[in-house]
Amino acid sequence: MGLGGPARYFVHARDEAAVAAALAWARARSLPLQALGSGSNIVVADEGVPALVVKIDLRGISAREVGGAVELTAGAGEPWDDLVRASVERGWAGLECLSGIPGLVGATPIQNVGAYGQDVSATVTVVRALDTHDGSIQTLSNRDCGFAYRDSRFRSGEPGRFLVLAVTYRLAPGGTPTIRYADVIEHLGSRGVASATLADVRESVIAIRRSKSMVLDANDPNRRSCGSFFTNPIVSAAAADRAAAGEPGSTMPRWPEHDGRVKLSAAWLIEHAGFARGHDAGPVGLSTRHALAIVARDGARASDVVAFARRLQMAVEERFGVRLEVEPVFWGTTLGRA
């Protein structure tokens, strides 16, 4: 978002030894430690971060065949979309719908990154991580990660405990692409694609994301954002019915979950609470292409973003009785959460 103040201390870690040394240095001085990837999903406080920030830049990619599948391992500092592109080019299914997402490999298990019918919890087999409690290297299985919708043990279960060093994904060589979302089906149809390949799905997903300003583009006026600022709320069926009653005469999007709850569209709720795409709130506002993206403009501060996010939350909760949860990570002692 191009916002926020400086780190008190900063180190660029290019190997595991540097990450371990940074942890030891911070512990010896009773300093908190924060791991930074590409920063695409972080809001930093205006006054900065009173911690040692470690820029994780561990690289390296390897693959091996295991029981008819491919286990693809990548360092936490590898650019995510480069890894997705490489897997698609090799005909390995499992990540194609996650094309075009900015960020690094290390962030994917933390947030359980997902889009258009896929999320990494379906493919992650192992996360290699540094345990900040005792400085040991841990090998965490999929079950150990505590994955949930846009969440994991790393994000909400024990935030800050583990520094992700590498991730292994189990992919299907020669597998068929995942085609579940209406947007993807419609876009493939508009291109005349009857039997889609992994590459076809990747191309359509990137085009859809670009149309919503959800890819990095230096020429896009909506570029200074974290992408989706809120997750789609998952509520009880009764709460979904009450939310629908808040906008009589309209068809509220709702998708049933396996546990009987219902997923709602955060973007729809925001727009029907009175905030259209392109809504202007001074130095911040909504993207002109997607109601879920809060965009920072010249002169914006992190405090402006937080204040606007709170306005959106309050308006949606007042109108529909649904609390929107923020998706990006907030850094800084006084920034708080929206």
Active site residues: 150, 228, 327
> C-alpha angle with apex 126: 122 to 131, nearest 5 degrees?
125
Name residues whose C-beta falls within 8 Å of residue 4's C-beta, 6 or more positions apart in sequence: 43, 44, 45, 46, 48, 49, 302, 331, 332
Phi-psi region of 116 (alpha: psi -120 to 50; beta: other; left: phi over 0): left
Nearest to residue 332, comparing CAs of 51, 55, 106?
Answer: 51
CA dihedral of residues 312, 318, 323, 325 (deg, nearest 10) = 10
Tell me how far apart the alpha carbons of residues 301 and 311 are, in angstroms, rounded to a whole number. Answer: 16
- Residue ranges of E strands in 30-98: 33-36, 42-44, 49-56, 61-66, 69-75, 92-93
**Partners of residue 122 on adjacent β-strands:** none
Report, in this order, helix, strand and coil percent for the chain, each rounded to 5: 30, 25, 45
Cβ distance 306 to 16 under 8 Å? no
- Contact status, residue 151 vs residue 110, Cβ threshold 8 Å: no
CB of 203 closer than 8 Å to CB of 193 = no
Tokens linked to 285: 């506002």
If phi over 0 gives left and psi between -120 and 50 gives alpha, with beta otherwise, what is residue 112? Answer: left
| Tokens coding 87 | 């897997």
